[in-house]
């Protein structure tokens, strides 16, 4: 049968072999859809990266007409896209958008959805790849997956190039037991090859560039080990407080919200062994191995590996900032951590004796996400006379946000008749070299899901390995209540107690002043 093409999408290329696709977004009336997903799909269409036959179906509990959904997505693009709305390009996709409403636990609503997609396929005369994007609160992940199974949607076209796929947003579980249960539910309906657990940090250009920096440059990989590296620091700092997310955040905290997922991805990519190939499973295998090599965390009060804290009142850019317990929706007796710092010991040959220091928090001095590799000082006595030479540690800083790039700190002679030294910085900035209008993380991730490339997605055993490390910490905190909960002023770099994690080896946090 001659292949039919949807008239509104004529002219869009099937870049990288993307199959004809229908994307179903569960939670389509939510904030993530408006801020990230629809702008990402729009920008993919601008770049001719959608398949010729592309449909989008919003799915939610609230009844919305197709026209109202289309209008709302127009506004989402105008407000949140990195590019202005081009009506002629967006119209091709807009005409293929529709909306279905149903409770997430009612199979009949999913059967109706299946019938709608079947009718699309009949009109086209060929099968559509079905991508189910679950962008909902985590309490309905399970019911949605269950209904996808019972309605037959999950197994549609299985064994072919248009097999169904499911994309699941974080949080993937609250602890090890819930992550294992969710994996059990998912794997009872989908094959692991169909599952794409998304962490948008992996879609960031600088995070992807980490693999290139490590493995495509001969000057770095030979010294990326315990013989040359003094320590590794990973910071994910947010300047804002909890804002309107108080109710959600108080039930989550810094460890669940940022460290177990985003920050651990940075740890894994920084510390993993070279994969055998660029095959997605080879890369994900090495990430799992290094997470499993991290030693259990000590919860001792004075010399343990973990510090937690909550922000008190302070200053944000000179303006008064309220304490966490004074934010909307936060109980006065809350013991939820808004900051957590950890010291990892990785039990393998590459990293034996090299501490990894991890921290993340809200209401910190400024917004930044970075990986800092601090190298050991050169051996010998040259330039080592105490007080005579200002010798700084060589440090490689991979800046993930807000100013994406790489900085290398080295020592240089100050011009003059005497031998005086000072640290200097070599900068590479993405915006300077490549321009500032780079693709958003969700653009890359959605495109990769469409072509079935799982490199930048998290495998089920990886989530469980991460939770196995952190669940004992969460259990300990739950039993301790407010005992051991430190305090730090809003607008600072965190509590003084976190310095003790580094002092044992005479280290200190970057930007600790």
Question: Which tens digits make up the pLDDT trace of 451-475?
Answer: 999 999 999 999 999 999 999 999 9
DSSP 347: -
* Predicted local distance difference test score (pLDDT) of residue 384: 65
CA 368 → CA 134, 238, 259, 364, 511, distances in Å? Answer: 28, 7, 14, 9, 10
* Predicted local distance difference test score (pLDDT) of residue 385: 60
CA 54 → CA 77, 147, 298, 324, 430, distances in Å? Answer: 18, 23, 51, 45, 32
Q: Average pLDDT for residues 301-318, to the nearest whole number?
A: 93
CA 268 → CA 125, 207, 235, distances in Å? Answer: 44, 11, 14
- Output phi, psi for 290, to 5 deg: -75, -35
Peptide bond into 365 cis (omega under 30): no
* Predicted local distance difference test score (pLDDT) of residue 389: 66
Of the ranges 2-11, 51-60, 65-74, 250-259, which one carries the lowest mean pLDDT score? 2-11
The CATH superfamily label for domain 202-437+459-503 reads Dihydrodipicolinate Reductase; domain 2 (3.30.360.10)
In terms of Cα–Cα distance, which of 102, 196, 174, 189 is closest to 142? 189
Bridge partners of residue 361, in order along the sequence: 237, 339
Give the strands of the sheet with 339-345, arranged side by side.
420-429, 405-414, 395-401, 368-375, 229-237, 355-361, 339-345, 306-312, 485-489
Neighbours of 325 (CB within 10 A): 17
* Predicted local distance difference test score (pLDDT) of residue 205: 86
pTM for the model stands at: 0.91
Q: Enumerate residues 6+ apart whose C-beta is below 8 A from 3.
A: 125, 126
Rounded-to-integer distance, Cα 274 and Cα 308, Å:
33
Of the ranges 133-142, 144-153, 415-424, 478-487, which one carries the lowest mean pLDDT score? 415-424
Spot the catalytic one: 80, 262, 427, 511: 262
Please check the confidence at residue 4 and state whether its pLDDT lies above 70: no
Please check the confidence at residue 357 and state whether its pLDDT lies above 50: yes
Please check the confidence at residue 411 and state whether its pLDDT lies above 80: yes
More confident residue, 360 or 388: 360
Peptide bond into 402 cis (omega under 30): yes
Rounded-to-integer distance, Cα 311 and Cα 307, Å:
13
In terms of Cα–Cα distance, which of 327, 182, 145 is closest to 248? 327
Neighbours of 211 (CB within 10 A): 16
Mean pLDDT of the chain: 91
Please check the confidence at residue 382 and state whether its pLDDT lies above 80: no
* Predicted local distance difference test score (pLDDT) of residue 11: 41
CA 121 → CA 18, 114, 117, 124, 435, distances in Å? Answer: 16, 11, 6, 5, 40
* Predicted local distance difference test score (pLDDT) of residue 244: 81
Bridge partners of residue 429, in order along the sequence: 405
Q: Does domain 7-169 have CATH number 3.40.50.720?
A: yes
The answer to whether residues 460 and 172 touch, using CB atoms and an 8 Å cutoff, is no
Locus of tokens 């004796």: 353
Rounded-to-integer distance, Cα 432 and Cα 302, Å:
45
Question: Which tens digits make up the pLDDT trace of 34-45?
Answer: 999 999 999 999
Please check the confidence at residue 2 and state whether its pLDDT lies above 50: no
Please check the confidence at residue 1 and state whether its pLDDT lies above 70: no
Q: Enumerate residues 6+ apart whose C-beta is below 8 A from 64.
A: 29, 58, 72, 99, 101
The answer to whether residues 100 and 132 touch, using CB atoms and an 8 Å cutoff, is no
CA 202 → CA 189, 236, 251, 400, 445, distances in Å? Answer: 26, 14, 25, 11, 8
Please check the confidence at residue 15 and state whether its pLDDT lies above 70: no
Of the ranges 126-130, 202-206, 344-348, which one carries the lowest mean pLDDT score? 202-206
Rounded-to-integer distance, Cα 211 and Cα 270, Å:
8
Rounded-to-integer distance, Cα 428 and Cα 136, Å:
38
Confidence of residue 5 (pLDDT cuts 50, 70, 90): very low
Of the ranges 285-289, 431-435, 497-501, which one carries the lowest mean pLDDT score? 431-435
Confidence of residue 386 (pLDDT cuts 50, 70, 90): low
* Predicted local distance difference test score (pLDDT) of residue 388: 62
* Predicted local distance difference test score (pLDDT) of residue 513: 43
Question: Which tens digits make up the pLDDT trace of 467-507?
Answer: 999 999 999 999 999 999 999 999 999 999 999 999 989 99
Bridge partners of residue 100, in order along the sequence: 59
* Predicted local distance difference test score (pLDDT) of residue 14: 35
**Contacts for 347-351: CB closer than 8 Å, 24+ residues apart:** 347/293, 347/294, 347/295, 348/273, 348/290, 348/293, 349/226, 350/224, 350/225, 350/226, 350/271, 350/273, 351/225, 351/226, 351/229, 351/271, 351/293
Confidence of residue 381 (pLDDT cuts 50, 70, 90): low
Q: Is 200 a catalytic residue?
A: no
Question: Which tens digits make up the pLDDT trace of 214-267?
Answer: 999 999 999 999 999 999 999 999 999 998 888 889 999 999 999 999 999 999
Q: Where do the structural domains in the chain lie, given as residue ranges?
A: 7-169, 202-437+459-503
Rounded-to-integer distance, Cα 148 and Cα 155, Å:
9
Bridge partners of residue 437, in order along the sequence: none
Confidence of residue 380 (pLDDT cuts 50, 70, 90): low
DSSP 7: G
């Amino acid at each position: 049968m001659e292949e039919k093409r949807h008239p509104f999408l004529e002219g869009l290329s099937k870049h990288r072999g993307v199959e004809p696709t229908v994307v179903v977004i569960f939670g389509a009336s939510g904030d993530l859809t408006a801020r990230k997903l629809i702008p990402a799909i729009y920008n993919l269409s601008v770049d001719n990266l959608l398949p010729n036959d592309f449909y989008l179906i919003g799915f939610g509990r609230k009844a919305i007409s197709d026209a109202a959904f289309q209008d709302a997505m127009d506004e989402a693009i105008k407000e949140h896209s990195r590019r202005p709305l081009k009506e002629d390009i967006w119209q091709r996709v807009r005409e293929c958008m529709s909306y279905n409403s149903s409770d997430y636990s009612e199979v009949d609503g999913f059967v109706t959805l299946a019938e709608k997609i079947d009718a699309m396929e009949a009109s086209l005369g060929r099968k559509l790849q079905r991508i189910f994007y679950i962008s909902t609160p985590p309490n309905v992940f399970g019911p949605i997956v269950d209904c996808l199974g019972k309605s037959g949607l999950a197994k549609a076209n299985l064994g072919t190039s248009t097999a169904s796929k499911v994309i699941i947003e974080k949080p993937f579980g609250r602890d090890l037991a819930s992550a294992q249960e969710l994996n059990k539910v998912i794997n009872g309906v989908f094959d692991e090859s169909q599952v794409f657990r998304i962490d948008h940090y992996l879609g960031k250009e600088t995070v992807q560039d980490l693999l290139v920096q490590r493995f495509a440059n001969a000057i770095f990989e030979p010294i990326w080990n315990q013989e040359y590296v003094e320590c590794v620091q990973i910071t994910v700092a947010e300047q804002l407080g909890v804002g309107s997310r108080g109710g959600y955040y108080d039930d989550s905290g810094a460890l669940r919200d940022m460290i177990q997922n985003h920050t651990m991805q940075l740890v894994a990519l920084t510390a993993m062994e070279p994969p055998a190939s660029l095959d997605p499973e080879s890369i994900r295998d090495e990430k799992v191995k290094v997470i499993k090599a991290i030693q259990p965390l000590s919860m001792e009060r004075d010399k343990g590996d973990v510090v937690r804290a909550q922000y008190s009142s302070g200053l944000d850019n000179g303006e008064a900032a309220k304490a966490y317990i004074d934010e909307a929706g936060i109980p006065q007796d809350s013991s939820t951590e808004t900051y957590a710092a950890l010291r990892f010991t990785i039990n393998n040959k590459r990293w034996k004796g090299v501490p990894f220091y991890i921290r993340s928090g809200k209401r910190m001095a400024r917004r930044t996400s970075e990986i800092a590799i601090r190298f050991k000082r050169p051996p010998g006595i040259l330039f080592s006379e105490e007080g005579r030479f200002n010798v700084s540690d060589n440090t490689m800083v991979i800046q993930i946000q807000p100013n994406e790039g790489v900085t290398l700190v080295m020592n240089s002679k100050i011009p003059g008749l005497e031998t005086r030294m000072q640290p200097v910085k070599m900068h590479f900035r993405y915006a300077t070299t490549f321009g500032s209008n780079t693709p958003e993380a969700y653009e890359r991730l959605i495109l990769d899901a469409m072509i079935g490339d799982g490199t930048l997605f998290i495998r089920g055993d990886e989530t469980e390995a991460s939770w196995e490390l952190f669940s004992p910490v969460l259990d300990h905190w739950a039993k301790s209540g407010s005992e051991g909960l430190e305090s730090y002023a809003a607008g600072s770099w965190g509590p003084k107690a976190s310095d003790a994690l580094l002092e044992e080896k005479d280290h200190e946090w970057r930007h600790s002043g």
